[in-house]
């Protein structure tokens, strides 16, 4: 079946920065002479000391090293705030929309600058200095952006942990980052419910040890325990400091932040991003992908706990002097019309969300959308997982009333910014395809042996050379960085995604090819869920796979073998689901638990996940070769139980 193709709408062809010819020309330049291209692009930020070297990168597995603009110095907070004051001090930088539709706030660049300086001084007064790691565990309130920029201002490295993660997950990240400072809030508010952030942070600090300072932002005013000497309320500390705080001069390659993300093995990795290349890359992508012009109202619905929030709520937009909307709530609270009501209330022009939200709202029908105007919308975006063509068409037709292009942006925590994407004035759209590479990006599709494939093909997605927004290392474990991304296909960056390229050179991401599952746009390693399950006293063994889920994209299917003497029951099932929620967080709750007397293993003891995936997908007829199993009858038992549980 040939997919439908959507042309660039007429008004976009005239309004946009780039048409197709301009994209082609600029793309070619970016690839043929990256040094010249990125030297030119680096002018979009202010430098304290100019760089003389542009690109200095090696993908050689014996010496992976990624450096951009390495001898220049700058500061991210200066670029996101100070340099805008003369021209746009009174322009709104952040529109904050609270969980309750009655709560909102507008913060100008001048106000944001003052607040960031104050926060930075609170941190400094507590002894935080350049290079220190500061853990941020906050809800979606303006103070989250303020805290990030305050760290950047003084050269501290932030590590944001999503507010939905459990105390255990938070503790692991505090420990790994060797962080002695936590910034949290009394409580978070989402969908009308309170989240006990301070209580969680206390439990995590106890577990991790070494936490010397906890700065607590008051969100709800709930009474929380404050530990004398360690804990301080932000508003009280802020009264004692000035709003004058010079920016630290940062080397281009000094760390900006760490963000933990799941991989196929082991504990989550601390993805490390540095200063100048990251900022240049998020700024250029924010400008061209969203065709951002002065005065646009831009809304990305992500949480700052994920990379999308870092790059496209805070750093990219603020570097470009944009007005960025920050939303505390959820798509279906108080009703399924919330997103579109917020669009109308703040006259949003660009709206960037995740397929899982689109699918959930699609299921709720057209009526909540159609009762709103949405006339301000010009551009729609999607990120986090493959968007199925049905959801794409609905988003385009119902939400965008056939007039707004959709930018389906493919990228990763590791890539720092968008790598494969349409540009709205340049790219014809095919529903479900992330389309073409951004400037400076050379995608390569390789076969199982690592040979690059030409033309229309399907295989594993690699990137042939570095771009400025790329992660530099795994915090504290460079060897793991090399192993994870540069050893499978030596000489290339391996993304972990499968991909197809069609006859027009369009890229279609087919999903992860490793043991990572993407649940509602959130990455989870199957190994993480398994290790949470086997930590339960009644569980002897567990194997976790993803399976297709109507709304979440993928759901979590767990096969659990119980300790001898334990009996399967509905109560135990519920207990195990609750256990995983407590161990990792609600996003990791298994959707299905199948009790299995044993798991299909090879003679060398490896669990054959391929078979477990097929059973979870209900594809019994297509189990493939089971002859290498130590005990093939195990499979019949699993299939029978699966069928019985339907």
Q: How far is the CB of 496 from ligand 6R9 (least distance, A)?
A: 6
Structure tokens at 382: 């999607």
Find the helix packing angle between 197-208 and 167-177, rounded to 10°. Answer: 50
CB nearer to ligand 6R9: pick between 157 and 509: 509
Judged by CB, which is closer to ligand 6R9: 323, or 421? 421
For residues 122 to 161, the per-residue mask of contacts with ligand 6R9, x marking binding by CB under 6 A and - elsewhere, is ----------------------------------------
Q: Does 75 bind ligand 6R9 (CB under 6 A)?
A: no
Asked if 176 and 204 touch (Cβ cutoff 8 Å), the reply is no
Is 407 near ligand 6R9 (CB under 6 A)?
no
Is residue 395 part of the contact set for ligand 6R9 (CB under 6 A)? no
DSSP assignment letter at 166: -
Sequential DSSP letters for 179-227: --EEEEES-EEETTEEE-HHHHHHHHHHHH----EEEEE-SS-------
Q: Is 323 in the site for ligand 6R9 (CB under 6 A)?
A: no
Tell me if 413 contacts ligand 6R9 by CB under 6 A: yes
Residue of 274, 350, 409, 444 that binds ligand 6R9 (CB under 6 A) = 409
| Residue 555 bridge partners (DSSP) | 547
CA distance 544 to 559: 6
- Determine the interface stretch with ligand 6R9 among 476-484, 493-501, 567-575, 604-612 (rule: CB under 6 A): 493-501
Q: Is 496 in the site for ligand 6R9 (CB under 6 A)?
A: yes
329 binds ligand 6R9 (CB under 6 A): no
Judged by beta carbon, residue 169 or residue 409, the one nearer ligand 6R9 is: 409
The helix/strand/coil state of 106 is strand
* Residue 525 binds ligand 6R9 (CB under 6 A): no
Using the rule CB under 6 A, is 408 a contact of ligand 6R9?
A: yes
CA of residue 273 relative to chain centroid, distance: 13
Q: What are phi and psi of 83, to 5 degrees?
A: -70, -15
Residue whose CB is less far from ligand 6R9, 197 or 513: 513
**CA nearest to 126, candidates 26, 225, 185, 214:** 214
* CB closer to ligand 6R9 out of 386 and 600: 386
Quick one: the chain helix, strand, coil %, rounded to 5? 35, 25, 40
* Site for ligand 6R9 contains 308 (CB under 6 A): yes
Q: Is 523 in the site for ligand 6R9 (CB under 6 A)?
A: yes
What are the binding residues? 190-193, 308, 332, 384-386, 408-413, 497, 512, 523, 534, 536, 539, 581
How far is residue 409's CA from residue 418's CA, in Å, rounded to a whole number? 6
Count of residues making up the chain? 646
Number of residues that bind ligand 6R9 (CB under 6 A): 22
Bridge partners, residue 183, by sequence: 136, 215
Whichever of 79 and 495 has its CB closer to ligand 6R9, that residue is: 495
Which member of 386, 422, 424, 585 binds ligand 6R9 (CB under 6 A)?
Answer: 386
Which single residue is written with the structure tokens 């009394």? 186
Does 515 contact ligand 6R9 by CB under 6 A?
Answer: no
Asked if 314 and 145 touch (Cβ cutoff 8 Å), the reply is yes
In this structure, the number of other CB atoms found within 10 A of the CB of residue 221 comes to: 8
Q: Which residues sit in the known binding site for Mg(2+)?
A: 534, 536, 539
Residue among 384, 494, 499, 522 at smallest CA distance from 435: 499
Tokens of 449: 């042996």
For ligand 6R9, the closer CB: 72 or 305: 305
> Measured from the CB of residue 353, what is the shortest distance to ligand 6R9 in angstroms?
12
The reply on whether position 384 binds ligand 6R9 by CB under 6 A is yes
Nearest to 304 by CA among 317, 292, 320: 317
CB of 434 to ligand 6R9, least distance (A): 5
Q: For CA atoms 485, 494, 425, 520, give the dihedral sign.
A: negative
Q: How far apart are CA 461 and CA 485, in angstroms?
A: 11
Q: What are phi and psi of 454, to 5 degrees?
A: -105, 160
Q: Which is nearer to ligand 6R9, 199 or 412 (CB)?
A: 412
Q: Out of 78, 512, 552, 614, which residue is the one contacting ligand 6R9 (CB under 6 A)?
A: 512
The beta-strand segments (E) located in 410-469 are: 443-446, 457-463
**Segment near ligand 6R9 (CB under 6 A), from 81-89, 163-171, 407-415, 606-614?**
407-415
Write phi, then psi, for 334 (nearest 5 degrees). Answer: -70, -20
Identify which of 503, 521, 517 has the alpha carbon closest to the alpha carbon of residue 385: 521
Of the candidate spans 326-334, 402-410, 541-549, 582-590, the one that interacts with ligand 6R9 by CB under 6 A turns out to be 402-410
Peptide linkage before 334 cis (omega within 30 of 0): yes
The secondary structure of 228-277 as a DSSP string is TTTEEEHHHHHTTS-S--PPPPEETTSEEEEEEE--SSSSPEEEEEESHH
In the annotated binding site for CoA, the residues are 190-193, 308, 332, 581
Q: Are 290 and 407 in contact (CB under 8 A)?
A: yes
Exactly one of 199, 412, 540, 641 binds ligand 6R9 (CB under 6 A); that residue is: 412
The answer to whether residue 410 forms part of the interface with ligand 6R9 (CB under 6 A) is yes
Q: Which among 48-56, 492-500, 528-536, 625-633 is the span making contact with ligand 6R9, rule CB under 6 A?
A: 492-500
Q: Which of 325, 434, 533, 587 binds ligand 6R9 (CB under 6 A)?
A: 434
Query: Tokens in use for 314?
Result: 């805070």
Select the residue interacting with ligand 6R9 from 278, 339, 411, 467 (CB under 6 A).
411
Q: Does 545 bind ligand 6R9 (CB under 6 A)?
A: no
**Residue 120, burial from CB neighbour count under 10 angstroms (0-12, 13-18, 19+):** buried
Distance CA 56, CA 104 (A): 45
Task: Please identify which residue in 134, 171, 429, 509 interacts with ligand 6R9, judged by CB under 6 A.
Answer: 509
Pick the stretch among 46-54, 151-159, 383-391, 474-482 that binds ligand 6R9 (CB under 6 A). 383-391
Binding status of residue 74 toward ligand 6R9 by CB under 6 A = no
Closest CB 495 distance from ligand 6R9, rounded Å:
6
Smallest distance, Å, CB 406 to ligand 6R9?
10
Could you give the CA distance from residue 66 to residue 76 in angstroms, rounded to a whole number?
19
Does position 445 bind ligand 6R9 by CB under 6 A? no
Which residue from 497, 515, 530, 583 is in contact with ligand 6R9, where contact means CB under 6 A?
497
**Binding of residue 561 to ligand 6R9 (CB under 6 A):** no
Name, in order, each residue with C-beta under 8 angstroms of 102's C-beta and a sequence gap of 6 or more. Answer: none
Q: Which is nearer to ligand 6R9, 321 or 384 (CB)?
A: 384
383 binds ligand 6R9 (CB under 6 A): yes
List phi, psi (to 5°) of 57.
Answer: -135, 145
484 forms part of the interface with ligand 6R9 (CB under 6 A): no
Which residues here bind ligand 6R9, judged by CB under 6 A? Answer: 261, 306-308, 383-386, 408-413, 434, 495-497, 509, 512, 518, 523
């Amino acid at each position: 079946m040939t997919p439908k193709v959507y042309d660039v709408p007429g008004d976009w062809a005239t309004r946009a920065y780039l048409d197709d010819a301009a994209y082609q020309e600029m793309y070619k330049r970016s690839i043929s002479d990256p040094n010249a291209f990125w030297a030119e692009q680096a002018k979009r930020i202010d430098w304290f000391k100019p760089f003389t070297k542009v690109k200095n990168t090696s993908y050689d597995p014996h010496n992976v090293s990624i450096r951009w603009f390495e001898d220049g110095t700058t500061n991210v907070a200066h670029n996101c705030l100070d340099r805008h004051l003369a021209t746009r001090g009174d322009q709104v930088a952040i529109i904050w929309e609270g969980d309750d539709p009655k709560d909102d706030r507008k913060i100008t660049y001048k106000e944001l600058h003052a607040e960031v300086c104050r926060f930075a001084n609170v941190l400094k007064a507590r002894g935080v200095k350049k290079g220190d790691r500061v853990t941020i565990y906050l809800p979606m309130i303006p103070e989250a952006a303020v805290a990030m920029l305050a760290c950047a201002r003084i050269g501290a490295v932030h590590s944001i942990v999503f507010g939905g993660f459990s105390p255990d997950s938070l503790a692991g990240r505090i420990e790994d980052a060797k962080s002695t400072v936590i910034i949290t809030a009394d409580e978070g508010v989402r969908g009308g419910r309170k989240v006990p952030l301070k209580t969680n942070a206390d439990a995590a600090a106890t577990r991790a040890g070494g936490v010397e300072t906890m700065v607590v932002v008051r969100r709800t005013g709930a009474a929380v325990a404050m530990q004398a000497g360690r804990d301080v309320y932000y508003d009280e500390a802020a009264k004692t400091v000035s709003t004058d705080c010079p920016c630290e001069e940062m080397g281009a390659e000094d760390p900006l932040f760490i963000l933990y993300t799941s991989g196929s093995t082991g504990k989550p990795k601390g993805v490390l991003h540095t200063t100048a290349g990251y900022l240049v890359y998020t700024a250029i992508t924010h400008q061209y992908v969203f065709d951002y012009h002065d005065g646009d109202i831009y809304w990305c619905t992500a949480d700052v706990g994920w990379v999308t929030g870092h790059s496209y709520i805070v750093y990219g937009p603020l570097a470009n002097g944009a007005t960025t909307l920050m939303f505390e709530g959820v798509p279906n609270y108080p009703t399924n019309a919330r997103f579109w009501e917020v669009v109308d209330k703040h006259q949003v022009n660009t709206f960037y969300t995740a397929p899982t939200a689109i699918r959930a709202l699609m299921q709720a029908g057209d009526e909540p959308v159609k009762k709103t105007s949405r006339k301000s919308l010009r551009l729609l975006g999607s990120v986090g997982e493959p968007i199925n063509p049905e959801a794409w068409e609905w988003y385009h037709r119902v939400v965008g009333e056939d007039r707004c292009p959709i930018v389906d942006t493919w990228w990763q925590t590791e890539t720092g910014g968008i790598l494969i994407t349409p540009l709205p004035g340049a790219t014809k759209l095919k529903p479900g395809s992330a389309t073409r590479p951004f400037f400076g990006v050379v995608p390569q599709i390789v076969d199982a042996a690592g040979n690059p494939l030409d033309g229309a093909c399907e295989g594993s997605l690699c990137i042939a050379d570095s771009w400025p927004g790329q992660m530099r290392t795994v915090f504290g474990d460079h060897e793991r960085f090399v192993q994870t991304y540069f050893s499978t296909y030596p000489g290339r960056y391996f993304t972990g995604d499968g991909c197809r390229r069609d006859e027009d050179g369009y890229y279609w991401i087919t999903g992860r090819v490793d043991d990572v599952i993407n649940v509602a746009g959130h990455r989870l390693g199957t190994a993480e869920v398994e290790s949470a399950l086997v930590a339960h006293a009644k569980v002897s063994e567990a194997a976790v796979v993803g399976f297709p889920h109507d709304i979440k994209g993928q759901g979590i299917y767990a096969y659990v073998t119980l300790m001898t003497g334990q009996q399967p029951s509905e109560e135990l099932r519920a207990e195990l689901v609750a256990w995983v929620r407590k161990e990792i967080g609600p996003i990791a709750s298994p959707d299905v638990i199948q009790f299995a007397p044993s798991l299909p293993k090879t003679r060398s003891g490896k669990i054959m996940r391929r078979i477990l995936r097929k059973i979870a997908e209900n594809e019994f007829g297509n189990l493939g070769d089971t002859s290498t199993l130590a005990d093939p009858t195990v499979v019949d038992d699993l299939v029978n139980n699966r069928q019985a549980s339907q």
